[in-house]
Amino acid sequence: MPESTHHLRSFLSGRLGASAQRSHWAWILASASGILAHSLHAQPPAFQHPPKLVVGIVVDQMRADYLYRYWSNFGEGGFKRLALKGAFLRDAHFDHIPTETGPGHASVYTGTTPARHGIVANDMYVRSTGRTRYCAAGTDTTRAVGLDSLIGKRSPLNLLATTISDELERRFEGRSRTIAVAFKDRGAILPVGRTGDAAYWFGGGTDGAFGTSTWYQRELPVWVQRFNGERLASAYLGRTWDLLIPREKYHAALPDDNSFEAPLPGAASATLPLDLNALHKASGSTGVLAYTPWGNTLTTDFALAAIDGEELGADSITDLLAISYSPPDILGHRMGPRALEIEDMYLRLDQDIARLLEELDKRVGQGRYTVFLTADHAAPDVPAFLDSLQGSAGYINAKELERGLSESLAKRFGPGRWVRAIINEQVFLNDSLITARKKDHEELQRAVADHLLREPLIAEALTAMDLARFEYTDGARRLLQRGFMPQRSGDVLFTYRPEHFEPYLTPPTRGTTHGSGWTYDTHVPVLFFGQGIRPGNILRRASITDIAPTVCAIVGMALPDACSGTVVTEALVR
């Protein structure tokens, strides 16, 4: 018996007779039951009044620890507002290999892994042609709209599962407005999916315009034409990039001038201040904006223009705005995660997010929209930097690796080009030669995996036969399997040891990359904020695939068709 009930009964027993006690007690219980029933009846399920707008934010190449490291320099209205007044999943990870932009964006919005949604890499090797196919490549009939023909011929054709956007369109019979924007085309296309209203990406060039492809539209809406006519990209490039706050307040582990960072294209050194106008004039292109914080600012400008132009969140039908901030990845590849420039970019991105939230409060209404923020992958430290600290890190010579494997297979199976390609840490065998020599395909796969596992810098290698036959539930094997699709993946998948990867730049000691299943690549922030969200820290392990079903629960709609994630119940108001 609850203590409060016990005290109440004691009070009554001291003042009433037995018959009166029973009568009063029955009256109290009946009244309480009535109040409870009325309360339940008076509060309809939250999904009956869904948010007017869902805003999905993906920051390209954002490590979870950036929130911790830069916290003291953030303002109150951006990342801090999301973390303190929203639900902060502090141990969220990608559950697949490879951790790249295309697979990452697709996984966030489909709620599943590459094994199911089909985007197994940014550039996928096609056995029939011996070439790679870009994850957001268009069809033969796809044409650019408002962009250069090459970068405009894009589509979600390779995406094999529905997204939040697709399901939202179905939930409201096509009345939802679903719009995506990013500098990178794949950062806009994969979130909005096959049936979203529009994906817009940055065209660079002399105009710095945003455009789309005929998969979505035949011509740009008037509001997009008007936005492009303002030529904001050129205006932002007319300034100097210097530090936002006093230098001594930054948390950079290295001096600004060091041997582990690569300069921006056309710059003499990887240091600030940087004359963006000079780089702009030298290159003749607005593309240099993608390496700067004002690439994020321009993305925010366009997102706000989309809210007005498409009237997002203006009625009771839930709309979706998917924003991907690409510049942190584009700069991060050249600088690595300890650079002064990276922290400065995030401090300025913090201001852009604060501006976005403030405008959402005004235009949609505070408490009437829901936001989630995450990343498509994180990033490792520059191996040369770790090596200078006597850490375990280094670079892989991919040509030597392929040469050694080819020699091993030739000794066992005879001369010939047994390996057709090694790409994305996958080995593709020469099917024609295997058939012509009447060799057993599985035996060749096993020989490749055995050879790779003898290499000291390879942590795991699995054959396609085993990945298709068995279920792996732990470690690198699990992550490899969740990134494996038989029709699009190699004969053998492998992964390197922590902090070892193929060089991204020349010289190889500068810059960083990503793609592995180690925590520096998988651990990203997940923040939910706004309508339907219960504030608090969630410390249990979570998957990035949990974002989509959680959003679907808030809106009250079907999960994406291949969704494998689960609702983060601790984050929801119930």
Give the containing element (helix H, strand E) for 8: helix 3-13
H/E element, 213: strand 210-213
For 303, the token pair is 């997102």
Euclidean distance between CA atoms 130 and 128, whole angstroms = 6
What letter does residue 464 receive in the DSSP assignment?
H
As a three-state string, the secondary structure of 199-232 is: EEEECCCCCCCEEEECCCCCCCCHHHHHHHHCCH
Query: Is residue 512 annotated as a catalytic residue, yes or no?
Result: no
Q: Whole-angstrom distance between the N-terminal and C-terminal Cα of the chain?
A: 26
With the C-alpha atoms ordered 358, 361, 364, 366, is the resulting torsion angle positive or negative? Answer: positive
Written as six digits, the tokens of 432 are 């024609």
The type of residue at 262 is: A
Sign, CA torsion 187/189/191/192 = positive
The beta-carbon contacts of 300-303 under 8 Å, at least 24 apart in sequence, are: 300/352, 300/353, 300/355, 300/356, 301/227, 301/232, 302/181, 302/200, 302/210, 302/227, 303/181, 303/356
Tokens of 408: 């091993």
Whole-angstrom distance, CA of residue 247 vs CA of residue 256: 10
Give the total residue count for the chain. 574
348 CB-near residues (< 8 Å, 6+ apart): 244, 293, 296, 297
Would strands 523-530 and 369-375 be described as parallel, antiparallel, or unpaired? antiparallel
Distance in angstroms (rounded) separating the CA atoms of residues 486 and 214:
30
Could you give the CA distance from residue 425 to residue 281 in angstroms, rounded to a whole number?
39
**Is-contact 105 503, C-beta < 8 A?**
no
Joined tokens for residue 197: 């209203």
The Cα-based distances of 484 to 440, 471, 477 in angstroms read 21, 12, 11
Q: How far apart are CA 169 and CA 555, in angstroms?
A: 12
Q: Considering 5, 99, 101, 240, which one is annotated as catalytic?
A: 101
Residue 419's SS3 state is strand
- Which H helix or E strand runs over 179? strand 178-182
What distance in Å separates the CA atoms of residue 222 and residue 202, rounded to the nearest whole number? 17
Q: DSSP state, 363? A: I
Cβ 478 vs Cβ 520: under 8 Å? no
- Annotated catalytic residues are 101
